Structure 1
Amino acid sequence: MAPRSTYPISGAFYFLAHPQLWSKMFCPFLLTLAFGIVSIVLAFVYLLPLQAHALINANCPTWLAWLCSVIFVLLESAIMDLLFFAIVMPFFQDALFDATLMARGMSRMFATRVPVDGFLLCCRGISSGLALVWFLLISQVVIMIVTAPLHLIPVFGTIIACYINGWVISWGHRIHYDLEFRGFTVSESRRYAWANKNDYCHFGAVAGALELIPFFNLIFMWTNVCSMALWVADEYEKNEAAIGRDQQRFAQEQGIGYPSGGPSSYYPQVDAYPSQERFEQSRLVEEYPGSSNKKGYGSHV
């Protein structure tokens, strides 16, 4: 597999080369624009007079009251737009993740996709929980604030800050896959992310650096999702090959011959999820002896 730090770059080129993925990026912007137009109209119609009259009743000069009310209305509308975008964006990011897997030819990963329980379904709709997204967002903002002074150090300070922020960025992009495809709980996803923190930091450092580029960050925040999907797809295929080799070795040790179709035709479960689940469960138990596979894993990464 390619180094994790190269995926954000390759993902950006992959995104640009597949126009069918672009709609997932444009939709939330168009929805936010429509919402912004509606919200600002309603704000000027209803909120502006209320705020202006309230200021006038508080003995504020009429001209100043109306001026301040216009400024307040514009700020309130902008805040509502940002909140709306933050709410709808996870839906389309997860849709982009899934669409990338399909474009990559990984439709078999959806065969036994793990259903999301009611709580997470209410929190985020089709994805990993809006509450979790907000937690990750707040965590990322806090870490960015804490590491902000590092940017005062030319080049090296920015590199260190991006590396520190990288783990949270990667986990945020991968949480959808962990919960919905692998059947992880949030705590299992966090433990797995921490156990592989070097890979997560390397990926997230480059992804975070791309999102620091003004204007282009509006595109890279989507291409990074595509990049994570490519990482997941490569790991999936790698483990599929490992399962096939293990079964072939077992068959050879047992002296079992293969029909004309080869090992995969004799062992059709090589690419099936039950074998993937056993492979993943055994590996998870090795990594976390105290953990249990309660839901059953729909994937093997």
Structure 2
Amino acid sequence: MSDRVKQVAAEEAERVKAMTVDAFQSRAYLYPFKGVFYFTTHKDLWRPLISKLTPTLTLSVGITTLMFLVAYVPQAAIMAFTSGPIAAISAALLTLSESSTLINLLAKTFLIEDALVDTFDGTLLSQNCTNLVGEGRQIQGGGDNIARLGKLVKKPFAKFTPNAIVRYLLYLPLNFIPVVGTVIFIILQGKRAGPAAHTRYFQLKGWSKREREIHVEEFRGGYTSFGVTAFVLEMIPFANLIFAFTNTVGAALWAADVEKKATTSSRVRELAQKAD
């Protein structure tokens, strides 16, 4: 039995090592930061956010303030027994995470879903992925990239599901483990958030559930590293919904790069076949 346990542990360590190397080599963790820079330098992408700014900021401030008033002190008191001197920091991170989850749940379900879709599609248009965007909506002739977005043909971006909430609640107690537990919690949330960021891309590609699973598994390290970075940014109080938009831009930039590489590879294969 002990040999079996050691074998399983060794296999798991190798799997984690391989995923870590894949995450680093993919450089996908940079795309949320690229999204911030790209968003700030392309003013046409601001319009979907500006149209929702007042209600989303009001929601963000209200929920974060309420959570710190109601949940922070009790959680800090419990963590004083498990985390010792860093209980205050751990409880603050936990409260921010809880606030972020509630804000994203309510905002993405009721306020900003269409605005995020416009941001994603507008970014793809700015990267000359017109044919891809055309698979999911009508594209108009004139104006900037947001103005060119016409009527939606496919309804994108899956809303929060009960399963996602259940998983979040199951992982929540990890935060009571000092430092390591919080890190594991963020990684697990990032593992879910990464593929979710490309929901619209998968839909535009017309992939089946099985095709999506195969793609995500092939690039698991990259999706996890993107999701972790995006999740941490969206934990920042009062700015998390702004980062939801910049993360959407980053996800679209990544999708555009994937498309360009796939197109280049297919052209190379075609030229090679013709040469043969």
Deviation sequence 1:55-82 (CA, Å, 0-9, x none):
xxxxxxxxxxxxxxxxxxxxxxxx9xx8
Residue 227 of structure 2 is aligned to residue 199 of structure 1: no
Matches within 5 A, 1:98-247: 98-111=121-134, 113=135, 126-128=154-156, 132-135=158-161, 138-153=162-177, 155-179=179-203, 181-247=204-270
Change in CA separation of 1:6 and 1:155 when aligned onto 2, cut-off 3 Å:
farther
Higher RCO structure, 1 or 2 (CA under 8 Å, sep 6+): 2
Secondary structure of the 2:205 match is coil
Secondary structure of the 1:184 match is coil
Secondary structure of the 1:9 match is helix
The Cα of 1:2 is off from its aligned counterpart by: 5.5
The Cα of 1:169 is off from its aligned counterpart by: 1.1
Alpha-carbon contact 1:175-1:189 (below 8 Å) kept: no
Matches within 5 A, 1:9-48: 9-30=33-54
The Cα of 1:12 is off from its aligned counterpart by: 1.2
TM-score when normalising by structure 2: 0.61
The Cα of 1:193 is off from its aligned counterpart by: 2.6
1:279 matched to which residue of 2? none
Alignment RMSD, CA only?
3.2
Match of 1:95 among 118, 125, 144: 118
Residues in 1 aligned to 2:234 and 2:107: alpha-carbon distance in whole angstroms = 20
Residues in 1 aligned to 2:107 and 2:29: alpha-carbon distance in whole angstroms = 31
Code of the aligned partner of 1:143: R
Residues in 1 aligned to 2:39 and 2:229: alpha-carbon distance in whole angstroms = 16
The Cα of 1:246 is off from its aligned counterpart by: 0.9
Residues in 1 aligned to 2:232 and 2:106: alpha-carbon distance in whole angstroms = 24
Change in CA separation of 1:157 and 1:32 when aligned onto 2, cut-off 3 Å:
closer
TM-score when normalising by structure 1: 0.56
Change in CA separation of 1:23 and 1:228 when aligned onto 2, cut-off 3 Å:
same
The Cα of 1:110 is off from its aligned counterpart by: 3.1
- Give the 4+ runs in structure 1 shifted more than 6 A: 31-34
Percent identity of equivalent pairs: 26
Residues in 1 aligned to 2:275 and 2:165: alpha-carbon distance in whole angstroms = 54
Computing the radius of gyration from Cα coordinates, the structure with the larger value is 1
Residues in 1 aligned to 2:192 and 2:212: alpha-carbon distance in whole angstroms = 12
Alpha-carbon contact 1:29-1:85 (below 8 Å) kept: no
2:31 matched to which residue of 1? 7
